[in-house]
């Protein structure tokens, strides 16, 4: 899995950084973040929310927003799109583009 982490106050081009990243990933790999298959509270653990897509996830720290937002690629194709999006936006992904 490849993960990009964002602070809730972080912005890129005037948008929340996580949302700008999601839009750029969709530009690289269309429909990665179309309609979620599932949305759950307290997943993956208490205090978080999870949006599950075919090849990605968005995990928000609801109980403690300072823990931020994680955008996760769950396949190699989506991870490649994450690396391209990160390179375009200047987002650091551990072990990936920065």
State residue 1's pLDDT score.
Answer: 85
Residue 48 domain-assigned? yes
Quickly tell me which residue has 């979620």 as its tokens.
36
**Boundaries of domain holding 62:** 2-89
pLDDT, tens digit, 9 for 90 and up, residues 26-66: 999 999 999 999 999 988 788 899 999 999 999 999 888 88
Residue 97 domain-assigned? no
Nearest-angstrom CA–CA distance, 98 and 94 = 8
Residues 6 or more apart from 56 whose CB is under 8 A from it? 25, 32, 33, 71, 72, 73, 74, 78
Residue 95 domain-assigned? no
pLDDT of 97 strictly over 80 = no
Split into its structural domains, the chain has a count of 1
Model-level pTM?
Answer: 0.91
């Amino acid at each position: 899995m490849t993960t990009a982490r964002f602070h809730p106050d972080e912005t890129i081009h005037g948008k929340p950084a996580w949302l700008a990243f999601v839009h750029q990933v969709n530009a690289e790999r269309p429909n990665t973040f179309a309609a979620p298959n599932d949305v759950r509270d307290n997943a993956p653990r208490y205090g978080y929310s999870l949006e599950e897509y075919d090849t990605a996830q968005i995990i928000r720290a609801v109980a403690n927003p300072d823990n931020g937002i994680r955008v996760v690629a769950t396949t190699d194709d989506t991870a490649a799109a994450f690396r391209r999006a990160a390179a375009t936006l200047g987002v650091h992904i551990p072990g990936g583009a920065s």
